[in-house]
Amino acid sequence: MAPLLKDELDIVIPTIRNLDFLEMWRPFFQPYHLIIVQDGDPTKKINVPEGFDYELYNRNDINRILGPRASCISFKDSACRCFGYMVSKKKYVFTIDDDCFVAKDPSGKDIDALAKHIQNLLCPSTPLFFNTLYDPYAEGADFVRGYPFSLREGLPTAVSHGLWLNIPDYDAPTQLVKPRERNGRYVDAVMTIPKGTLFPMCGMNLAFDRELIGPAMYFGLMGDGQPIGRYDDMWAGWCVKVICDHLGLGVKTGLPYIWHSKASNPFVNLKKEYKGIFWQEDIIPFFQAATLTKDCDTVQKCYIALSHQVREKLGKIDPYFAKLADAMVTWIEAWDTLNPKEGAEANGKPTKGK
Amino acid sequence: MAPLLKDELDIVIPTIRNLDFLEMWRPFFQPYHLIIVQDGDPTKKINVPEGFDYELYNRNDINRILGPRASCISFKDSACRCFGYMVSKKKYVFTIDDDCFVAKDPSGKDIDALAKHIQNLLCPSTPLFFNTLYDPYAEGADFVRGYPFSLREGLPTAVSHGLWLNIPDYDAPTQLVKPRERNGRYVDAVMTIPKGTLFPMCGMNLAFDRELIGPAMYFGLMGDGQPIGRYDDMWAGWCVKVICDHLGLGVKTGLPYIWHSKASNPFVNLKKEYKGIFWQEDIIPFFQAATLTKDCDTVQKCYIALSHQVREKLGKIDPYFAKLADAMVTWIEAWDTLNPKEGAEANGKPTKGK
């Protein structure tokens, strides 16, 4: 049996090192095409294990392909991964960090995270009413008594957010306070995040439908030359959720787990995060209150409308948000250039793998 | 060590038969006081296993204690259980059906459902933002990166909704279509249902804080002389959730599981449910849109305000809802009579157990 969506899904990996972690994923990833976004020094050679089909982009490639619009792609931060979303030509994207390994389920079996994400994406979501027995489409499950029948068809799923065993995705203060905490709890559930509810989206183990939500998966301005880091995926998650809610799309979280091997340095993280820790207290109410008008009927229109609101409302917090609002617009321009409506090929010429 | 909340919690059980099911719960329930609400023929003698401390109310007791207001308590339907909530003098209530037995966790250990409910109730809820690693207060867990620090204190928990292994809580159509489906999935999680999201609350395995939300736990008019049944807990759940959202209280669902032993008859259920199946298509949008004004600062005021909206908006669907709106008011009057603000004792004289 051919692997599911073999020709319709790209795996996007941001990295600064050799991709030895792929060895462990070989049985699951090898049939798929990889898009590797090399961060940092573009002269460094990244080794990719034999037998993987990949294209690799370094900073020089990004600058060449996007020209002046390359300014919207972060440097020296894993936020650079969103360039991979933009150059992909597939319907689906799975993105994973290079310190994430294959986890085991409670029976000791290796978890094929990608297969589970695909299942999540191909199966509807239920954001309009809560099902207490979790995913009603899972085998052996259904909608419980009291679930409106008119809502049982569900809505298309745009995002599948997977979780992490071992090192949990904590912020720097929590890392500092609980240096030894590990996540060993395997929760056997996938759930839809209800409409109107925001969540902290982590980019470590994430899949999405590019056609449905791709242009909103912008990971913002982080890292080199920017006042914050480690809010790239959060930013994307807030924007994505508001737009999914508006367009009637679903966001799932839960299974699959990956094994997150090592905690990043909490002192370095604190330096990257501390402004975000303040700012999120205003950003989250902003997104909770954000509304989009009826004429925002595409992801692009929604995203541009959000960028205006960011400039107007968050610009008061710090000039950074005006810059970010500009970058949001640039991102959409770049996206539309590389993904023309007619389906014509974009003219990026990446380093091709075998 | 004394059992937690031994003198602050009542167990409410609606029944029409001998309570042999208590034998299995003896190690967990015996320290607590039981309130048994006998449904159906009041001349029938219900046997309670030796050694339990209980009070028992039959229909005659309900009529005597409430007088004309007894009309708000359903007859020949497990909705009668809410009379037990009203006569309790404790801060917490746990209610369970008499076909629910002790479940085992994946390690094979008996689950002390009551202890877990108590833990859920004593621990805050997080309805204002979603935590992807589930209950952030659980051992070994915390808030993930991107969770606003200002929300980490959480809100008081008003309701703990437990789940069911074996026979899932399905409506009649699903029972008919999937007669052999059993729930064997043990999901090791407790989660807060986000603010603004409704859920189907099942009364089979449910605990709540009477002081925080008791007067909203009215199970409506069902059964004898009414056009529907099996929507008692659903009705309570919709009202409770709207009021909890308004008052800043939390509702949790997930652990603990009980073992639900036998499915009720789907043909009988269909007869009870079929109007509800239509009506819920209007009722749920009604509750999703319901708002309460600032002056609704007690559960009672919220509930009376909701009753007005029920009369006005749902009364158009069927005259039943005008009757239900009246009963909601009667319920609050009865509640306040039995639970006077001064803390004076009500004068119910139930059949006393040992």
Instruction: For residue range A24-80, list pLDDT tens digits in order.
Output: 999 999 999 999 999 999 999 999 999 999 999 999 999 999 999 999 999 999 999
Cβ-defined contact of A200 to B145 (cutoff 8 Å):
yes
Amino acid identity for residue B333 in this structure = E
**Bridge-partner residues for A208, per DSSP?**
A93, A159
What is the enclosing helix (H) or strand (E) of A352? strand A351-352
Which one is predicted more confidently, A346 or B16?
B16
Identify the pLDDT of residue A89: 96
Angle, CA of B133, A282 and A234, to the nearest 5°: 40
**Cα–Cα distance for residue pair A47/A31, rounded to 1 Å:** 19
Question: Rg of the Cα trace of chain B?
Answer: 19
Identify the pLDDT of residue A2: 77
Q: How far is CA B128 from the centre of its chain?
A: 23
Instruction: Give the CA count within 13 Å in the CB-facing half-sphere of B291.
Output: 3
CA distance A200 to chain B (A): 5
Chain B residues in contact with A256 (beta carbon < 8 A): none
Angle, CA of B41, B45 and B50, to the nearest 5°: 145
**Cα–Cα distance for residue pair B264/A4, rounded to 1 Å:** 40
Please write down the long-range contacts of B233-236, taking CB distance under 8 Å and 24 or more positions apart.
B233/A146, B233/B79, B233/B201, B233/B202, B233/B203, B233/B204, B233/B206, B234/A145, B234/A146, B234/B200, B234/B201, B234/B276, B234/B280, B235/B324, B236/B82, B236/B201, B236/B203
Burial of B267 (0-12, 13-18, 19+ CB in 10 A): exposed
Is pLDDT of B3 > 60? yes
pLDDT band at A342 (very low <50, low <70, confident <90, very high): low
Question: Rg of the Cα trace of chain A?
Answer: 19
Please answer whether residues B231 and B276 qualify as being in contact, where contact means their C-beta atoms are separated by less than 8 angstroms: yes
CB atoms inside a 10 Å sphere around CB A41: 10
Cβ-defined contact of B184 to A140 (cutoff 8 Å):
yes
Question: Could you report the per-residue pLDDT of B191-228, keeping only the tens digit for each?
Answer: 999 999 999 999 999 999 999 999 999 999 999 999 99
**Cα–Cα distance for residue pair A258/A112, rounded to 1 Å:** 9
Largest CA-CA distance found in chain B, in angstroms, rounded: 60
Quick one: which of A107, A154, A148 has its CA closest to A135? A154
DSSP A287: H
How is residue B212 written in tokens? 């925080």
Question: Could you report the per-residue pLDDT of B132-157, keeping only the tens digit for each?
Answer: 999 999 999 999 999 999 999 999 99
Across all residues in chain A, what is the average pLDDT? 95
**Cα–Cα distance for residue pair A280/B299, rounded to 1 Å:** 33
Q: How far is CA B322 from CA B299, B315, B326, B327, B329, in A?
A: 21, 5, 6, 9, 11
Please answer whether residues A221 and A324 qualify as being in contact, where contact means their C-beta atoms are separated by less than 8 angstroms: yes
Cβ-defined contact of A201 to B145 (cutoff 8 Å):
no
Identify the pLDDT of residue A47: 97
pLDDT band at A334 (very low <50, low <70, confident <90, very high): very high
Chain A, chain B: beta-carbon pairs less than 8 Å apart: 174
Question: Could you report the per-residue pLDDT of A217-244, keeping only the tens digit for each?
Answer: 999 999 999 999 999 999 999 999 999 9
Q: Which of A130, A180, A238, A268 to mutate to test the interface with B (most CBs of B within 10 A)?
A: A130
Cα dihedral: B310, B316, B318, B323 (round 10): 40
Q: How far is CA B162 from the centre of its chain?
A: 10
Burial of A246 (0-12, 13-18, 19+ CB in 10 A): buried
**Cα–Cα distance for residue pair A200/A277, rounded to 1 Å:** 13
Question: Could you report the per-residue pLDDT of A187-196, keeping only the tens digit for each?
Answer: 999 999 999 9
Chain B residues in contact with A134 (beta carbon < 8 A): 185, 187
Q: Which of B78, B137, B144 to mutate to test the interface with A (most CBs of A within 10 A)?
A: B144
Cβ-defined contact of B142 to A174 (cutoff 8 Å):
yes
Question: Could you report the per-residue pLDDT of A275-329, keeping only the tens digit for each?
Answer: 999 999 999 999 999 999 999 999 999 999 999 999 999 999 999 999 999 999 9
- For the segment A175-182, the average pLDDT, to the nearest whole number, is 95
CA distance A259 to chain B (A): 14
Please answer whether residues A171 and B146 qualify as being in contact, where contact means their C-beta atoms are separated by less than 8 angstroms: yes
- For the segment B7-28, the average pLDDT, to the nearest whole number, is 97
**Nearest residue of A to residue B270 by CA position?**
A145
**Cα–Cα distance for residue pair B126/A315, rounded to 1 Å:** 29
Across all residues in chain B, what is the average pLDDT? 95
pLDDT band at B354 (very low <50, low <70, confident <90, very high): very low
Question: Could you report the per-residue pLDDT of B56-74, keeping only the tens digit for each?
Answer: 999 999 999 999 999 999 9
Please answer whether residues A99 and A21 qualify as being in contact, where contact means their C-beta atoms are separated by less than 8 angstroms: yes
- Gap between the terminal Cα atoms of chain B: 23
**Bridge-partner residues for B155, per DSSP?**
B125
pLDDT band at B349 (very low <50, low <70, confident <90, very high): very low
**Nearest residue of A to residue B186 by CA position?**
A188
CA distance B88 to chain A (A): 28
Cβ-defined contact of B189 to A186 (cutoff 8 Å):
no
**Nearest residue of B to residue A185 by CA position?**
B188
pTM score? 0.94
For B42, list phi and psi in degrees, rounded to 5. Answer: -75, -15
Residues 6+ apart with CB under 8 A from B341: none
Please answer whether residues A156 and A244 qualify as being in contact, where contact means their C-beta atoms are separated by less than 8 angstroms: no
How is residue A326 written in tokens? 């500009």
Question: Could you report the per-residue pLDDT of A255-278, keeping only the tens digit for each?
Answer: 999 999 988 899 999 999 999 999
pLDDT band at B348 (very low <50, low <70, confident <90, very high): very low
Cβ-defined contact of A144 to B284 (cutoff 8 Å):
no
Identify the pLDDT of residue B342: 66
3-state secondary structure string, chain B? CCCCCCCCEEEEEEECCCCCCHHHHHHHHCCCEEEEEECCCCCCCCCCCCCCEEEEECHHHHHHHHHHHHHHCCECCHHHHHHHHHHCCCCEEEEECCCEECCECCCCCECCHHHHHHHHHHCCECCCCCCCCCCCCCCCCCCCCCCCHHHCCCECEEEEEEEEEECCCCCHHHHHHCCCCCECCCCCCEEECCCCCCCCCCCCEEEEEHHHHHHHCCCCCCECCCCCCCCHHHHHHHHHHHHHHHHCCEEEEEEEEEEECCCCCHHHHHHHHHHHHHHHHHHHHHHHHCCCCCCCCCHHHHHHHHHHHHHHHHCCCCCHHHHHHHHHHHHHHHHHHHCCCCCCCCCCCCEECC
**Bridge-partner residues for A35, per DSSP?**
A12, A55
Cβ-defined contact of B199 to A174 (cutoff 8 Å):
no
Size of chain A, expressed as the number of residues it contains:
354
CB atoms inside a 10 Å sphere around CB B206: 24
**Cα–Cα distance for residue pair A21/A23, rounded to 1 Å:** 5
Chain B residues in contact with A192 (beta carbon < 8 A): none
Please answer whether residues B189 and B134 qualify as being in contact, where contact means their C-beta atoms are separated by less than 8 angstroms: yes
Q: How far is CA B240 from CA B90, B140, B233, in A?
A: 19, 30, 10
**Cα–Cα distance for residue pair B267/B103, rounded to 1 Å:** 27
Q: How far is CA A146 from the centre of its chain?
A: 33
Cβ-defined contact of A145 to B281 (cutoff 8 Å):
no
- For the segment B152-168, the average pLDDT, to the nearest whole number, is 98
How is residue B88 written in tokens? 């309790």
Chain A residues in contact with B141 (beta carbon < 8 A): 168, 183, 185
Q: What is the value of ipTM here, to two decimals?
A: 0.94
**Cα–Cα distance for residue pair A345/B143, rounded to 1 Å:** 43
Cβ-defined contact of B185 to A231 (cutoff 8 Å):
no
- For the segment B39-66, the average pLDDT, to the nearest whole number, is 97
pLDDT band at A345 (very low <50, low <70, confident <90, very high): very low
- Which of B129, B144, B198 has its CB closest to that of A284? B129
Quick one: which of B137, B171, B167 has its CA closest to B151? B137
Identify the pLDDT of residue B74: 97
CB atoms inside a 10 Å sphere around CB A158: 27
Please answer whether residues A51 and A26 qualify as being in contact, where contact means their C-beta atoms are separated by less than 8 angstroms: yes
Amino acid identity for residue A10 in this structure = D
Question: Could you report the per-residue pLDDT of B232-270, keeping only the tens digit for each?
Answer: 999 999 999 999 999 999 999 999 999 999 888 999 999
Q: How far is CA B43 from CA A283, B59, B260, in A?
A: 63, 9, 28
Q: How far is CA A298 from the centre of its chain?
A: 19
